[in-house]
C-alpha cells in the first residue's frame, strides 16, 4: 500500500514536470522578453545641482533654418551660421549685421584681422567683416567633411572628419601640412571619428588642441604636427566622456580650462587643462533628447555660449 | 645557408605575432552600475577538429566497450563503471554537447533546411548509437548516454509500476519525438535541448526551472528508475523502435532458462517479458476478429490524429518567433508591453523588412505547420494504435526475456541468473 502511494505520488510529480514544460513552452511568452542589453542612461541624466556652477542669463534666437556653428571675435561680437546665412550679434544680443551665403556652413571662425572663415561641406570660404566674399579654397582630398576651423595670425587649421585629418593652411589657402595622421613612430595614434563631430581650437599658449572623439581624448599638437601632449577621460559619469564620439565640441576659457559638449548624454561641462572634471554648465534636462552638435564659444569675460541646434537658440551662461 | 634563411623566415613569422601588442581598443569599455568590469575581449579559437574526431572516437570506443561488456562479458559492474565514465566525459567534460539525444534535431534541420550545414560529428552521434542498437540493442542507453547514465546512478530503490501505466506513459516520448522533429523541421526551436533537464547540471548553469525539473527527475529516479529515459526521451523512442530488430540483444540467461524466476523482479524498468503459456492463447476466431478490428482501427486513429493535429497547427506554430511577431503586429498587442514598444518590434522595424513580407513568410511557415500537424497527429494516432495492439496481442513465450524495445541493456538482470555458461558445459 505504502509503495502504491509512493509510486502514485511520484507519477503525479512526473506528469507535473511535463505540464510545467508544456506551460513554459506554449503559455509563458505573453510578455515581451526584456532586452538584457538595453542601453539605459536615464540615471546618468540626473546631475547633482551642487555641481552646476553656471546659470543661463540670455538666449538669442537667430533666424537661421539650420543653426550649426558659433564663434566670438576679440570684441565679443557673436557670429552664428548654418544654412545660407551668417548673423552677427553685439554683446548685448542685438543683431549688428547679417549676410547670405550660397550653401550651408558647418563651422565658423573669426580671425584676429576680422576675416570670417566658413567651413563649407568640402571647401573654405573667406569673407571680410562686412560679408564680402574674399576667397574660396578648394580642398585637395575627396570626401572632405569640414567640421571645425581655427585661425592664428599666419595659419588656418581645418578639421576634416571625412579623412580624419587636420589641414594646416596659410592665410592664402596654401596647404602647409597635414596633422594627426597615424604615426606609431612619433606616437600619433590617429583620429578615430565614427561620426562627423571633430572639433579643434587654438589654446592659450598658441598651440593646437584637437579632439580625438573615438577615444575621448584631447591631443595637443605643434604646428608641424608633432604631438606634444594629450589626455583622455572615458567615463559614463561626469568625470569623463562616453559613447562612440565625445566630446563633440569644445571651447576654451581664459584660464586654459576646456568647455566641452557631448551628444547622447547631452551635457556641457568644464574640464581643467589637464582633463579633470571641474563643473557642469548645463545638464541634459535643458536639451531635447537626441540633440547633437552643441557648438560652443567663450567670450573675453568667460561667458559660455551654447548653440542649441534643435531649439535653434544661442544660450548664454555665466558663472553663478 | 639554407638553415639561416629558414631561421630568419621563422623569426619574421614569429615577429608578426608582436603586432597585436600595438592593437588598441576601438571603443572604450562601458561602465556598469554593478561595478562589473568588462573582461578583455578575446576571440576564442574554434574547437579543434581533432577534438571533434576524438569525441567520435570516444563514442565508438565507449559503445564498443559497453556492448562487449553487455553481450560478451555480461558484466553489470563493468556497465556501471562505463556509466560513470560517460557522465564524466560526455556529461561534465563535454558539458552534455554534442549529445545523440539532441542530434536528431540537427539531422532533421539539415534534411529540411538546405542552408543549415550540419557538423559531421552531429551525424556520427546520431547514427552510431542507432547502428549499434540495430545490432546489439540499446547498449548506448546502458552506459554511454550521459543523461541516462546519470539517472541510472540515482536508481537506488526502484519500484515497479503497472504494465498498462508503463505503456500509457511510454507514449509520451513518441509525442515528444514528433514535436521535436516538427519544430526542428520548421526551424522553430530545438525543444529537446531547451528542455534537457540535466545539461544545466553538467554546465553548472541551470536556470531555476530547469534545475528544479532536473532535480525532481533525479529524485523521482530513486524510486522510478530513469524516468526521463522511459517517459520523455525522444531519442530513446527512436532506439526503442530500432532495437526491436536487433539480432544480438542481451539475454537474461546465457543458455537455457531454468524457470527459477529469480530475475522476475530484477528489472527496474519493467522491461522483462514474462513467459506466456500456450493455454492462455485465445481461440482462433476471436484472434482473427481482433486482428480485423485493429486493421480498421489503426488507420482510423491515424486519420483522427492527423485531422486533430492539423486543426491545432496554428497553436503549434504560435511558438515560432516569426509567427509570434506577425501576431503581435497584426493584433497590435505589443507583446503585452504597455509602457514602451516591445524590443522585438523595435528590432523588426530596424531590420527594414516590410509587414507584408513578414506576413507572406509567416503564411508559408503556417502552411508547413498545417502539413506537419497532419503528420504529427497521424504519427501519434499510429503510436496509440500500435500501443493498443501490443497490450492485447498474444505472444507465446516460454522464458523470461528482455523486451527488445524497452530494455536498456543495463545488465542488472544477468546478475540474478544462476545459469552460467561453464555450468552448462559441465552438464553436457
**DSSP of B213-276:** HHHHHHHHHHHSS-HHHHHT-HHHHHHHHHHTT-SS---SSSS------TTTTT-TTS-EEPPB
Does A16 fall in a domain?
no
Does A31 fall in a domain?
no
Average pLDDT over residues B8-24: 57
Does B400 fall in a domain?
no
Of B24, B31, B319, the CB nearest to A25: B319
Number of domains, chain A: 1
Q: Which residues of B touch A244 (CB under 8 A)?
A: 27
Does B19 fall in a domain?
no
The SS3 assignment for B282 reads coil
Q: Cell numbers of A96, please?
A: 549688428
- B164-217 pLDDT tens trace: 888 889 999 999 999 999 999 999 999 999 999 999 999 998 889 999 999 999
Instruction: Work out the minimum CA distance from B209 to partner chain A, whole angstroms.
Output: 9
Q: What does the pLDDT read at residue B3?
A: 62
Of A10, A13, A216, the CB nearest to B28: A216
- Percent of chain B at pLDDT above 90? 62
Q: Is the peptide bond before A173 cis (omega within 30 degrees of 0)?
A: no
Does B23 fall in a domain?
no
Considering the domain architecture, whether residues B387 and B303 belong to the same structural domain is answered as yes
Of A14, A25, A192, the CB nearest to B220: A14
Does A6 fall in a domain?
no
- Residue B316 has phi, psi (to 5 degrees) of -65, -40
Q: What does the pLDDT read at residue B26?
A: 55
Give the domain extent around A186: 44-319
CA distance B11 to A310: 58
CA closest to A245 among chain B residues? B27
Does A275 fall in a domain?
yes
Q: Which residues of B touch A38 (CB under 8 A)?
A: 343
Q: What does the pLDDT read at residue B24?
A: 53
Average pLDDT over residues B409-424: 82
Q: What is the ipTM of this complex?
A: 0.75
Average pLDDT over residues B324-343: 87
A11 or B81, which is more confident? B81
- Residue B86 has phi, psi (to 5 degrees) of -60, -40
Note whether B324 contacts A: Cβ–Cβ < 8 A: yes
Q: What does the pLDDT read at residue B424?
A: 47
Helices B208-223 and B146-154 pack at an angle, to 10 degrees, of 50
User: Which segment of A296-305, B111-120, B387-396 scores lowest on mean pLDDT?
Assistant: B387-396
Q: Which residues of A touch B31 (CB under 8 A)?
A: 235-237, 242
Q: What does the pLDDT read at residue B427?
A: 46
Average pLDDT over residues B62-83: 95
Establish, for the pair of chains A and B, how many residue pairs have beta carbons separated by less than 8 Å. Answer: 79
Does B230 fall in a domain?
yes
Considering the domain architecture, whether residues B92 and B178 belong to the same structural domain is answered as yes
Q: Cell numbers of A37, please?
A: 542589453
Considering the domain architecture, whether residues B101 and B233 belong to the same structural domain is answered as yes
The SS3 assignment for B295 reads helix
Instruction: Work out the minimum CA distance from B296 to partner chain A, whole angstroms.
Output: 31
Interface test with B, best of A32, A33, A230, A233 (most B CBs within 10 A): A32
Give the domain extent around B179: 56-275+407-427
A70: Cβ contacts below 8 Å, ≥ 6 apart: A78, A79, A80, A81, A108, A295, A296, A297, A305, A307, A314
Q: What does the pLDDT read at residue B428?
A: 43
Q: What does the pLDDT read at residue B426?
A: 47
Does A61 fall in a domain?
yes
Burial (Cβ within 10 Å: 0-12, 13-18, ≥19) of residue A207: middle
Full strand arrangement of the beta sheet holding A267-271: A249-252, A258-262, A267-271, A277-282
How many other CB atoms are there within 10 angstroms of residue B92's CB atom? Answer: 15
Does A2 fall in a domain?
no
Mean of the per-residue pLDDT values of chain B: 87
Q: What does the pLDDT read at residue B31?
A: 66
CA distance A300 to A256: 13
CA closest to A212 among chain B residues? B27
User: Which segment of A239-248, B96-105, B124-133, B273-282 scores lowest on mean pLDDT?
Assistant: B273-282
Q: Is the per-residue pLDDT at B269 higher than 70?
A: yes
A228: Cβ contacts below 8 Å, ≥ 6 apart: A207, A220, A221, A222
- Percent of chain B at pLDDT above 70? 89
Q: What does the pLDDT read at residue B213?
A: 93
Does B174 fall in a domain?
yes
How confident is the prediction along chain A (320 residues), in pLDDT tens digits per residue? 677 888 888 888 888 988 888 888 887 755 666 666 766 777 888 899 999 999 999 999 999 999 999 999 999 999 999 999 999 999 999 999 999 999 999 999 999 889 999 999 889 999 998 899 999 988 767 788 999 999 999 999 999 999 999 999 999 999 999 999 999 888 899 999 999 999 999 998 889 999 999 999 999 999 999 999 999 998 888 999 988 889 999 999 999 999 999 998 999 999 999 999 999 999 999 999 989 999 999 999 999 999 999 999 999 999 99
Beta bridge partners of A71: A79
Q: Is the per-residue pLDDT at B281 higher than 90?
A: no
Considering the domain architecture, whether residues B329 and B198 belong to the same structural domain is answered as no
Q: Is the per-residue pLDDT at B423 higher than 60?
A: no
Q: What does the pLDDT read at residue A30?
A: 56
Residue A55 sits in a domain whose CATH number is 2.120.10.30
Average pLDDT over residues B80-106: 93
Amino acid at each position: 500500500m505504502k509503495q502504491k502511494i509512493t509510486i502514485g505520488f511520484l507519477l503525479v510529480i512526473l506528469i507535473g514536470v511535463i505540464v510545467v514544460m508544456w506551460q513554459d513552452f506554449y503559455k509563458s511568452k505573453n510578455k515581451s522578453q526584456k532586452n538584457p542589453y538595453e542601453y539605459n542612461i536615464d540615471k546618468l541624466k540626473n546631475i547633482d545641482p551642487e555641481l552646476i556652477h553656471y546659470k543661463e542669463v540670455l538666449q538669442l534666437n537667430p533666424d537661421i533654418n539650420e543653426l550649426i556653428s558659433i564663434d566670438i571675435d576679440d570684441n565679443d561680437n557673436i557670429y552664428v551660421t548654418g544654412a545660407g546665412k551668417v548673423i552677427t550679434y553685439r554683446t548685448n544680443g542685438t543683431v549688428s549685421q547679417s549676410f547670405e551665403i550660397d550653401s550651408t556652413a558647418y563651422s565658423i571662425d573669426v580671425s584676429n584681422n576680422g576675416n570670417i572663415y566658413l567651413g563649407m561641406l568640402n571647401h573654405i570660404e573667406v569673407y571680410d567683416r562686412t560679408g564680402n566674399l574674399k576667397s574660396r579654397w578648394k580642398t585637395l582630398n575627396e570626401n572632405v567633411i569640414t567640421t571645425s576651423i581655427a585661425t592664428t595670425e599666419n595659419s588656418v587649421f581645418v578639421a576634416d572628419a571625412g579623412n580624419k585629418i587636420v589641414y594646416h593652411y596659410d592665410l592664402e589657402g596654401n596647404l602647409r601640412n597635414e596633422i594627426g595622421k597615424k604615426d606609431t613612430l612619433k606616437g600619433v595614434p590617429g583620429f578615430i571619428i565614427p561620426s562627423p563631430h571633430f572639433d579643434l581650437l587654438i589654446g592659450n599658449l598658441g598651440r593646437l588642441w584637437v579632439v580625438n572623439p573615438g577615444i575621448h581624448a584631447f591631443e595637443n599638437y605643434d604646428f608641424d604636427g608633432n604631438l606634444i601632449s594629450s589626455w583622455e577621460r572615458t567615463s559614463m559619469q561626469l568625470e569623463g566622456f562616453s559613447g562612440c564620439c565625445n566630446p563633440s565640441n569644445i571651447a576654451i576659457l581664459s584660464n586654459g580650462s576646456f568647455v566641452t559638449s557631448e551628444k547622447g548624454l547631452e551635457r556641457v561641462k568644464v574640464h581643467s587643462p589637464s582633463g579633470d572634471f571641474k563643473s557642469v554648465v548645463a545638464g541634459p534636462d535643458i536639451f531635447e533628447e537626441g540633440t547633437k552638435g552643441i557648438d560652443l564659444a567663450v567670450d573675453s569675460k568667460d561667458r559660455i555660449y551654447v548653440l542649441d541646434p534643435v531649439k535653434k537658440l544661442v544660450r548664454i551662461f555665466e558663472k553663478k | 645557408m639554407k638553415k639561416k634563411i629558414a631561421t630568419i623566415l621563422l623569426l619574421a613569422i614569429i615577429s608578426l605575432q608582436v603586432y597585436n601588442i600595438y592593437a588598441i581598443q576601438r571603443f572604450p569599455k562601458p561602465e556598469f552600475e554593478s561595478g562589473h568590469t568588462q573582461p578583455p575581449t578575446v576571440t576564442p579559437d574554434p574547437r579543434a577538429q581533432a577534438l571533434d574526431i576524438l569525441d567520435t572516437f570516444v563514442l565508438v570506443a565507449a559503445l564498443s566497450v559497453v556492448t562487449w561488456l553487455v553481450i560478451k562479458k555480461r558484466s553489470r559492474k563493468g556497465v556501471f563503471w562505463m556509466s560513470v565514465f560517460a557522465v564524466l566525459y560526455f556529461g561534465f567534460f563535454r558539458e552534455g554537447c554534442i549529445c545523440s539525444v539532441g542530434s536528431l534535431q540537427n539531422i532533421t534541420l539539415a534534411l529540411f533546411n538546405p542552408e543549415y550545414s550540419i557538423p559531421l560529428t552531429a551525424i556520427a552521434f546520431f547514427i552510431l548509437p542507432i547502428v549499434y542498437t540495430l545490432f546489439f540493442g540499446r547498449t548506448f542507453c546502458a552506459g554511454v548516454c550521459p543523461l541516462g547514465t546519470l539517472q541510472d546512478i540515482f536508481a537506488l530503490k526502484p519500484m515497479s509500476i503497472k504494465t498498462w501505466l508503463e505503456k500509457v506513459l511510454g507514449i509520451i516520448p513518441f509525442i515528444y519525438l514528433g514535436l521535436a522533429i516538427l519544430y526542428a523541421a520548421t526551424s522553430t526551436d530545438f525543444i529537446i535541448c531547451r528542455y534537457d533537464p540535466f545539461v544545466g547540471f553538467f554546465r553548472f548553469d541551470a536556470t531555476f526551472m530547469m534545475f528544479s525539473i532536473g532535480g525532481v527527475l533525479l529524485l523521482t529516479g530513486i524510486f522510478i528508475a530513469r524516468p526521463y529515459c522511459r517517459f520523455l526521451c525522444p531519442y530513446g523512442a527512436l532506439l526503442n523502435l530500432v532495437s526491436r530488430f536487433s539480432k544480438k540483444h542481451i539475454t537474461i540467461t546465457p543458455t537455457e532458462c531454468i524457470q527459477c524466476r529469480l530475475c522476475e523482479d530484477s528489472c527496474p524498468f519493467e522491461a522483462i517479458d514474462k513467459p506466456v503459456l500456450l493455454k492462455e492463447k485465445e481461440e482462433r476466431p476471436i484472434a482473427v476478429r481482433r486482428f480485423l478490428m485493429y486493421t480498421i482501427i489503426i488507420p482510423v486513429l491515424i486519420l483522427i490524429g492527423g485531422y486533430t493535429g492539423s486543426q491545432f497547427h496554428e497553436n503549434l506554430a504560435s511558438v515560432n518567433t516569426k509567427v509570434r511577431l506577425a501576431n503581435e503586429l497584426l493584433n497590435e498587442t505589443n507583446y503585452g508591453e504597455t509602457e514602451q514598444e516591445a524590443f522585438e518590434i523595435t528590432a523588426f522595424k530596424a531590420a527594414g523588412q516590410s509587414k507584408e513580407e513578414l506576413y507572406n513568410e509567416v503564411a508559408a511557415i503556417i502552411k508547413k505547420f498545417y502539413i506537419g500537424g497532419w503528420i504529427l497527429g497521424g504519427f501519434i494516432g499510429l503510436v496509440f494504435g500500435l500501443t493498443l495492439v501490443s497490450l492485447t496481442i498474444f505472444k507465446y513465450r516460454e522464458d523470461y526475456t528482455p523486451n527488445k524495445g524497452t530494455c536498456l541493456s543495463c545488465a542488472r538482470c544477468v546478475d540474478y541468473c544462476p545459469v552460467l555458461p561453464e555450468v552448462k558445459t559441465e552438464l553436457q
